[in-house]
Amino acid sequence: MHIREGFAGQLHFVVPRPFLQEVENHPLLRALFVTDIGWYPAARYHYRERETGSAEYILIYCVAGRGFAQVGGAALEVGPGQALLIPSGEAHLYSASVEAPWSIHWVHFRGETAYQFLQQLPPGQLVMTVDPRAHGPITETFQECYAALAEGFSTRQMIFCALALHRIFGWLFFANPAFQPGKTALPRSIDRTLAYLRDHLDQRPSLAEMAAQAGLSVSHFSYLFKAHLGVAPIDYFIQLKIRYACHLLETSDLCVKDIAACLAYEDPYYFSRLFRKAVGCSPTQYRDRVR
């Protein structure tokens, strides 16, 4: 069973195509502009295939669950806290995992400088990891676009969304400690541990257990992890939990105590202190701000 769109709670904005002709010629928009944008939460059976590619570049930002993609013959997996960029004109397909369907913010974009953003990626790399500290700003910027376009399509809204897209790329490429194109790819041992951590947010594995997933000593594992990701393993795992907490605050009605329990924090006050330290506000304040 395949579904292109129509998911409960989704947001989906398509800029009228006749209006795009005007947008393309505007001096503040011709460099970069949005053509389609949306939010698909828990998008079970989501599937999209374009045998001849898309006229636009595509950015998919996964906040929960998993998805799979094929771009130009390369098989890719996209998990929480990862972004997928698809070049225009490139044959591709992508779909949500059956077991854990993804929740994604996505945007189609064009413009004279659009290609330059994909050029920031190393050759052959289309999936990038996003530092948990960038999750809040990226998510909020997408939500600002939805709010703007809910008022209608006008040049004013299009300029706002174009500037917002620049901010998103700023967080992805230039304020994202997890994106370090000058470094070599993650060792497979560390990659295995990252997958393990993403799948065990409801637990509290020790540093030794994390190192065991990588098949390394604790000291060597800690050194490699921080060298490639810029943060200690335990701190990274806390950031993953906080990012998922943000997702639950945005999309569910769970109370803070229940969210803390979902993330293996028995003491909701301790969880709230961690959240405030990472995000800059309490969980309740965050929920009020994004809703």
Instruction: Quote the CA–CA distance of 3 and 44 in Å, as a whole number.
Output: 8
Question: Letter for the amino acid at 55?
Answer: A
Domain span at residue 44 reads 11-174
Same domain, 71 and 31: yes
Same domain, 15 and 157: yes
Q: What is the pLDDT along the chain (291 residues), one digit of tens a residue?
A: 677 778 888 999 999 988 988 888 899 998 999 999 999 999 999 999 999 999 999 999 999 889 999 998 788 999 888 999 999 999 999 999 988 899 999 999 999 989 888 888 887 789 888 888 888 899 999 999 999 999 999 999 999 999 999 999 999 888 776 676 655 456 778 888 888 898 899 999 999 999 999 888 899 889 888 877 777 899 889 988 988 898 888 888 999 999 999 999 999 999 999 998 887 889 998 888 766
**Domain assignment present for 136:** yes
Report the CATH number at residue 208. 1.10.10.60
Same domain, 163 and 200: no
Same domain, 29 and 92: yes
Same domain, 131 and 216: no
Same domain, 44 and 168: yes
**Domain assignment present for 170:** yes
Contact yes or no for 59/85 (Cβ under 8 A): yes
Contact yes or no for 57/120 (Cβ under 8 A): no
Same domain, 66 and 15: yes
**Domain assignment present for 2:** no
Looking at the whole model, is its pTM more than 0.85? no
Same domain, 89 and 19: yes
Question: Letter for the amino acid at 138?
Answer: I
Contact yes or no for 87/108 (Cβ under 8 A): no
**Domain assignment present for 229:** yes
Instruction: Quote the CA–CA distance of 2 and 64 in Å, as a whole number.
Output: 20
Alpha carbon distances (Å) from 175 to 117, 133, 172: 14, 9, 6
Spatial CA neighbour of 61 closest among 85, 87, 97: 85
Same domain, 64 and 162: yes
What single DSSP character describes residue 183?
A: S
Same domain, 132 and 216: no
Same domain, 166 and 203: no
Instruction: Quote the CA–CA distance of 29 and 155 in Å, as a whole number.
Output: 9
